Structure 1
Amino acid sequence: MDAQTRVEIQNLTEQQQMYVIQTLPAKEKTVSTAYIFWVLFGAHYFYLNRPFKNLILWVLSYIYIGFIWWFYDLFRMQRLVAECNREIARQVIHDAILLYPKPQKLHSETIDAEYKEAG
């Protein structure tokens, strides 16, 4: 979990925070697994939720450009995984907000508060 995600979690309600903390680790991707997909199948983009990119990589491999791209990904795998995990965190936070909306004041509570202030 990166620093930006931690800051966003602090702005959530307690229920929303618990949902994110429980759900996020199960959905996050790991660098080691991404490397395994990179080595064995050249399918690391499938693992990182980018299937179209992986198909383009495979097509370009027939004219050898894909192999250069594939090798370049070896050095940027940590960044690719971090970007993927950031998108996953955004989605989980969004889901938490939808599942557990913040309670809103009822109209009568607002009127009561204004009446007490005026009185």
Structure 2
Amino acid sequence: MSLTTEQEILIESRVSNERKSAGAAYLLWFFLGIFSAHRFYLGRPISAILQVLSYFILVGFIWWVIDLFLIPGIIQEDADEVRRDLVARYRNEALPRR
């Protein structure tokens, strides 16, 4: 079942409003990366804790540098998840009730 244009606009508006800021993520990465603040901000608390713990064996510093390139993908995954959830919700509302 197709969504109406109004529903699609509403979904994209919600996705834009709930999207994490890449600028904020990079600032957190640069200034508070040792505490994995960027991962907490991006909604990845488990990997943030693992990253902090891995600093004790120096692997975390490599992971911290790799995060420089992973941040855009994490933000896009989050936006896609919000979009999928909203589309599913609107499609379920459009189904006839029995």
Q: Which runs of 4+ in 1 moved over 4 A?
A: none
Q: TM-score by structure 1 length? A: 0.62
Count of residues paired in the alignment:
93
CA contact (8 A) 1:59 1:66 kept: yes
What SS is found at the alignment partner of 2:94?
coil
The separation in 1 between residues aligned to 2:77 and 2:47, in whole angstroms, is 18
Structure 2 residue ranges without an equivalent (≥5): none
CA contact (8 A) 2:42 2:74 kept: no
Q: TM-score by structure 2 length? A: 0.73
Structure 1 residue ranges without an equivalent (≥5): 1-10, 108-119
RMSD of the alignment, in Å? 2.5
Matches within 5 A, 1:54-73: 54-73=48-67
Letter of the 2:18 partner, please give it. Answer: K
* Percent identical residues: 25
Q: Which has the higher helix share?
A: 2
Larger radius of gyration: 1
CA contact (8 A) 1:20 1:93 kept: no
Letter of the 2:14 partner, please give it. Answer: T
The separation in 2 between residues aligned to 1:44 and 1:55, in whole angstroms, is 12
